[in-house]
Amino acid sequence: MERIYVCDIKDSKDTQILVRGWVHKIHELSTISFVHLRDKTGIIQLVMDKKHSKQLRLEMSIEAIGEKVMNEKAPGGIELDAKELTILGEVFYDKLPFEINGFKLNACLEKQLDYRALALRRPKTRAVFKVQEEITDAFRTYLKSRRFSEIHTPKVISSSTEGGSEMFTVDYFGRRAFLAQSPQFYKQMMVGAGFERVFEIAPAYRAELHNTWRHLNEYISLDIEMGFIKDETELMDLEEGFLNYLYSVLRKTCKSEFEMYNIELPEKIEIPRIPLAEAHKILLDKYNKKSPVGNIDAEGEVLISKYVKETYNCDFVFLTEYPVAKRPMYAMPDSEKPGLTKSFDLIFKGLEITTGGQRIHNYEMLKENIKKFGLNPDDFAFYLETFKYGMPPHGGLAIGLERLTLKILDLENVREATLLPRDLRRLEP
């Protein structure tokens, strides 16, 4: 007899069915018991003789065979009159660390993370990762339909992309290596290698000493690099197009997840593009908020999002024209606006989720810029090598997957959008 998933029971023609899952709730009456079985896809009520349910404890994994019965009072309108019951996985606890089956999970986030495998059994907690999976799928589908190739580049690298700070070091057979902050150099190389348009979904590492709601030391970066572009506006168009596509997908695939989190997605996203200097002016005029030179701080991100929401009814805003001094050495200077680069950030509900821009593609210009930044071109030999052979104009961007998930679901902490977060303190589980 084949196992049937809970979500498929309603439409199944079989009357005798076999289900598997975990014991979610036990409610014993005088002779019979109602037991809720939870599988990956949902929860069904099993009705059984009390002598069967006596051996059950919460969170055991079980198999049950029985007759499908329509019952308006049961959750989902269906229950199973269970005749056979098998315990598949025993439990070994005195008391569960927290309740899985309550309306709220009565444990702080740290405790949930300590018992991550157990906390994720709660459907609402696990739902975050259904949404996250749809995000990566939509990212991949959207880009592949535009002839992007998915690539895999090494995460153990010999040199730093951005100057060496805030990187984890690895002992590589006695040599000092690093964990990649981003696939920046490699994705550019792969554009030059003839793939033209590439993307990568892979871990990235930041040895930052921040321990906040929005920082992770290991996260998943959705990276894009695109050759033969006109300028950075093509990249913003691409990201805006992706976000619109993503929302259209999520509306279809994550209905029940959005219901759990009480989220409604807008029909159409049109993202304002505001030069950084103008954003500074808005922040000062409207909120009396001073910004750091050539940048925007966390408070500024929140305020500019508030402004854009009120003015344009949009949750997103592109900040553009960052100054040369605040961008990496590979950022393309804007020849018409001295001191500025053809770069941008994307702020989503007060949180930066993307940095992007056009890159320098001319070998001599890049070498000169590396020097201007006080770096040694010899340290970037393999990177520079690519630029000797007809590197086309190109640019790209990166989206932090956990941050995007966090903001779509209005979560409070980026760790909620990570199966097993790594932060300053946490290396386990």
Question: Which of positions 301-340 make contact with its own copies (CB under 8 A)?
Answer: none
Subset of 354-373 contacting its own copies (CB under 8 A): 361-364
d(CA 147, CA 213): 36
Q: According to CB under 8 A, which one of 71, 136, 160, 248 is a site residue for its own copies?
A: 136
Question: Is 146 assigned to a binding site?
Answer: no
**How many Å separate Cα 295 from the centre of its chain?**
24
Q: According to CB under 8 A, which one of 32, 65, 109, 420 is a site residue for its own copies?
A: 420
**How many Å separate Cα 227 from the centre of its chain?**
25
Query: Whose Cβ is closer to its own copies: residue 189's or residue 235's?
Result: 189
Q: Are 127 and 167 in contact (CB under 8 A)?
A: no
Q: Does 18 bind its own copies (CB under 8 A)?
A: no
Query: Whose Cβ is closer to its own copies: residue 336's or residue 428's?
Result: 428
Question: Is 66 assigned to a binding site?
Answer: no
- Report the SS3 class of residue 243: helix
Question: Is 208 assigned to a binding site?
Answer: yes
d(CA 79, CA 101): 18
d(CA 1, CA 85): 14
Subset of 220-279 contacting its own copies (CB under 8 A): 220, 228
d(CA 341, CA 132): 32
> What separation in angstroms does the CA of 395 have from each of 56, 318, 405?
58, 16, 24
Q: Which stretch binds its own copies (CB under 8 A): 44-52, 76-84, 109-117, 242-250?
A: 109-117
Q: Which two tokens stand for residue 31?
A: 């002779």
Question: Is 401 assigned to a binding site?
Answer: yes
Burial class (CB in 10 A: 0-12, 13-18, 19+), 198: buried
Subset of 138-197 contacting its own copies (CB under 8 A): 147, 149-159, 168-173, 175, 177, 179, 186, 189-190, 192-197
For residue 400, count other CB atoms closer than 10 A to its CB: 24
Subset of 376-395 contacting its own copies (CB under 8 A): 382-383, 385-393
Subset of 70-89 contacting its own copies (CB under 8 A): 88-89
Q: Which two tokens stand for residue 126?
A: 């696990």
Query: Whose Cβ is closer to its own copies: residue 149's or residue 413's?
Result: 149
> What separation in angstroms does the CA of 199 have from each of 132, 179, 190, 381, 382?
17, 19, 10, 23, 21
Binding-site string for its own copies from residue 23 to residue 62, where x marks contact by CB under 8 A and - marks none: x--------------xxxx-----------------xxxx
Query: Whose Cβ is closer to its own copies: residue 151's or residue 279's?
Result: 151
Query: Whose Cβ is closer to its own copies: residue 188's or residue 291's?
Result: 188
Question: Is 403 assigned to a binding site?
Answer: yes
Q: Are 95 and 57 in contact (CB under 8 A)?
A: no
Q: How far is the CB of 418 from its own copies (least distance, A)?
A: 8
Question: Is 355 assigned to a binding site?
Answer: yes
Question: Is 359 assigned to a binding site?
Answer: yes
Q: Does 396 bind its own copies (CB under 8 A)?
A: no
Q: How far is the CB of 161 from its own copies (least distance, A)?
A: 13
d(CA 44, CA 21): 10
Number of residues in the chain: 429
Query: Whose Cβ is closer to its own copies: residue 218's or residue 321's?
Result: 218
Question: Is 122 assigned to a binding site?
Answer: no
Q: How far is the CB of 382 from its own copies (least distance, A)?
A: 4
d(CA 281, CA 192): 39
In degrees and rounded to multiples of 5, residue 150 shows phi and psi of -85, 130
Q: Are 350 and 302 in contact (CB under 8 A)?
A: yes
Query: Whose Cβ is closer to its own copies: residue 62's or residue 317's?
Result: 62
Query: Whose Cβ is closer to its own copies: residue 179's or residue 340's?
Result: 179
Q: According to CB under 8 A, which one of 164, 203, 241, 292 is a site residue for its own copies?
A: 203
End-to-end CA distance of the chain: 37
Residue type, 265: L
Q: Which stretch binds its own copies (CB under 8 A): 47-55, 297-305, 310-318, 413-421?
A: 413-421
d(CA 371, CA 379): 11
Query: Whose Cβ is closer to its own copies: residue 101's or residue 320's?
Result: 101
Specify binding-site residues for ATP.
206-208, 214-216, 352, 400-403
Specify binding-site residues for L-aspartate.
162, 206, 355, 359
